[in-house]
């Protein structure tokens, strides 16, 4: 399988990038997983109870083994969650309301909260957090040991990752005994490897214009389906100019999203209006939209205090920096947005770094604008607290732009304390409307899931979340 970038880490308590989450999902389990309807289902926990609003009891499967042969017990679950407070990880913010974890016996885990938190279970769903063996040290990422269907065979960052089937996996060994992930950053090279047959499969890593060519290859299949991944443009609201709503509105109005989807993605994407996908039960379709309107963008910049300097003035109304990955798709996206903003008088400097550096910079708040994707996490309403709650700034969460709205905080506190699904749906509807007005993010699009694979592979079924778990069920003809 070809990957466009390398996992940033193999520690499932830390990694958040798209590739990292998908690879870790093959190697680690969590207490819960999602079923085909995105509802909670057993994973390491065969059952669970919520006897009162502050207590959760989990009953673990017996006989689950780590890759080194040790049996998983409640001590491993307790250690994993306790260790988050000692790690530099954005995931610790999701467990800020967790008061303590107890392990009263080998197969029972008790979690107690400081206050009611209706979204708590979402933090225990694979791949949000993977359970690691008790005692795993800070260098765990070098020799990761999980309970998943595959175990590590070899990892050379930025070059190759090899996994081998774990024959004692509790759900049975995978059909494919070995997976070889080749990290191929160059789009053209990935496409050529597929054409030559030296790569069997690529998921969501072939640009749209190359898909048209690969569709004509007799030994390849190209299949697509609507996805739930969410692409967004984020602002640093501590920036003097970007703290002004009209400047953010101007930028949103200056971006030709339809043109980007048509030319860059070849229509293998759908316009986004919320961090939640349209199929989600809490999705609100009636949010403020920012259609492509350069004239409105110029007017908003005038009103915000950044007038058109004309021919005799400065070369731009405003100068901003855009932090981007050097991967071709994201760099081309940045260049198109740069072109669109230049047309309304904004000079956008593109600064490219390796993905690990991009993630480190945005966590530190060292950016003006950046664009990334939410993958999987946006299937749960807890994403609103993780991203838009005022106190969820890194390392406690992913509010990297320092967005703060007291009304949003109050609504999210209310949502976390009420079990009534109808009330919660209305709350999240209000939150989506407010966030769309405040514009800490520009919702861009939901990329389709597009898989290119050699016809010698059978039983290729890609799920809406675009994860890699389907690999364990593939058969080779």
Interacting residues of 346 by C-beta distance below 8 A, sequence separation 6+: 250, 251, 254, 301, 316, 317, 318, 319, 320
Furthest C-alpha separation in the chain:
77
Q: What is the DSSP string of 371-394?
A: EEEE-SGGGSTHHHHHHHSTT--T
- Which domains are delineated in the chain? 2-142 (3.90.76.10), 230-447 (3.10.105.10)
* Rounded distance between C-alpha atoms, residue 47 and residue 41, angstroms: 9
- Copy the structure tokens of residue 287: 């949010």
Give CB contacts under 8 A, 24+ apart, made by 206-214: 206/450, 206/452, 207/264, 207/328, 207/329, 207/332, 208/264, 208/265, 208/266, 208/267, 208/268, 209/266, 211/266, 211/268, 211/450, 211/452, 212/266, 214/452
Beta-carbon neighbour count of residue 191 at 10 Å? Answer: 24
Please report, to the nearest 10 degrees, the dihedral formed by the alpha carbons of residues 384, 385, 386, 389 taken in order.
110
pLDDT in tens, the chain (477 residues): 999 989 999 999 998 888 999 999 999 999 999 876 667 899 999 999 999 999 999 999 999 999 999 999 999 999 999 999 988 888 888 898 899 999 999 999 999 999 888 889 988 998 889 999 999 988 899 999 999 999 999 999 999 999 999 999 999 999 999 999 999 999 899 999 999 999 999 999 998 889 989 999 999 999 998 889 999 999 999 999 999 999 999 999 999 999 999 999 888 899 999 999 998 989 999 999 999 999 999 999 999 999 988 755 557 899 999 999 887 888 999 999 999 999 999 999 999 998 889 989 999 999 999 999 998 778 888 899 999 999 999 988 899 999 999 999 999 999 988 888 899 999 999 999 999 999 999 999 999 999 999 999 999 988 888 889 999 999 998
In what helix (H) or strand (E) does residue 452 lie, and over which residues does it extend? strand 449-454
3 state DSSP class of 203: strand
Which residue in this structure is represented by tokens 């920096």? 321
> CB of 287 within 8 A of CB of 314?
no
Nearest to 321 by CA among 292, 282, 347, 360: 347
In what helix (H) or strand (E) does residue 323 lie, and over which residues does it extend? strand 318-324
- Is the pTM of the predicted complex or chain greater than 0.75? yes
Q: Give Rg (Cα) of the chain.
A: 23
CA distances from 395 to 70, 234, 242, 377 (A): 32, 17, 22, 17
DSSP one-letter code for 176: S
CA 205, 207, 213, 216 torsion: positive or negative? positive
Model pLDDT for residues 202-261, shown as the tens digit of each residue? 999 998 889 989 999 999 999 998 889 999 999 999 999 999 999 999 999 999 999 999
Q: What is the DSSP string of 392-429?
A: --TTSSS-TT----HHHHHHHHHHTT---HHHHHHHHH
């Amino acid at each position: 399988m070809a990957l466009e970038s390398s996992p940033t880490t193999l520690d499932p308590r830390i990694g958040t990038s798209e590739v990292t989450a998908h690879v870790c999902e093959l190697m680690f389990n969590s207490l819960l997983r999602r079923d085909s309807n995105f509802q909670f289902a057993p994973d390491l926990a065969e059952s669970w109870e919520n006897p009162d609003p502050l207590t959760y009891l989990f009953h673990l499967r017996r006989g689950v083994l780590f890759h080194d042969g040790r049996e998983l017990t409640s001590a491993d679950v307790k250690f994993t969650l306790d260790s988050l407070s000692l790690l530099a990880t954005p995931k610790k913010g999701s467990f800020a309301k967790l008061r303590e974890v107890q392990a009263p016996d080998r197969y029972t885990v008790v979690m107690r909260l400081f206050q009611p938190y209706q979204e708590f279970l979402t933090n225990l769903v694979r791949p949000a957090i993977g359970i690691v063996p008790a005692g795993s040290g800070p260098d765990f990422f070098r020799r990761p040991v999980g309970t998943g269907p595959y175990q590590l065979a070899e990892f050379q960052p930025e070059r190759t990752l090899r996994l081998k089937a774990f024959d004692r996996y509790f759900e049975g060994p995978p059909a494919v005994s070995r997976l070889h992930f080749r990290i191929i950053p160059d789009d053209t090279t990935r496409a050529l490897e597929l054409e030559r047959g030296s790569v069997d499969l690529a998921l969501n890593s072939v640009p749209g214009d190359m898909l048209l060519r690969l569709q004509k290859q007799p030994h390849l299949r190209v299949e697509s389906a609507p996805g739930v991944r969410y692409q967004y443009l984020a602002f640093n609201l501590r920036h003097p100019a970007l703290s002004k709503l009209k400047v953010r509105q101007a930028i949103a109005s200056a971006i030709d999203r339809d043109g980007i989807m048509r030319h860059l993605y070849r229509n293998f994407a759908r316009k986004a209006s919320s961090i939640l996908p349209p199929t989600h039960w809490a999705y609100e379709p009636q949010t403020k939209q920012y259609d492509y309107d350069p004239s409105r963008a110029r007017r908003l910049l005038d009103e915000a205090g950044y007038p058109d300097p004309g021919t005799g003035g400065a070369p731009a109304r405003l100068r901003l920096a855009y932090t981007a990955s050097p991967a071709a798709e994201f760099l081309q996206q940045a260049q198109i947005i740069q072109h669109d903003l230049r047309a309304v008088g904004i000079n956008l400097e593109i600064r490219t770094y390796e993905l690990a550096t991009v993630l480190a910079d945005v966590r530190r708040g060292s950016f003006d604008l950046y664009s990334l994707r939410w993958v999987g996490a946006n299937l749960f309403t807890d994403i609103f607290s993780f991203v838009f709650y005022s106190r969820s700034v890194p390392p406690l969460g992913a509010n990297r732009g320092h967005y703060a709205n007291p009304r949003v905080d109050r609504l999210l506190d209310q949502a976390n304390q009420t079990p009534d699904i109808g009330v919660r749906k209305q709350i999240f509807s209000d939150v989506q409307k407010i966030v769309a007005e405040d514009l800490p993010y520009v919702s861009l699009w939901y990329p389709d899931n597009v898989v290119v694979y050699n016809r010698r592979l059978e039983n290729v079924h890609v799920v809406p979340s675009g994860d890699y778990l389907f690999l364990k069920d593939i058969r080779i003809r």
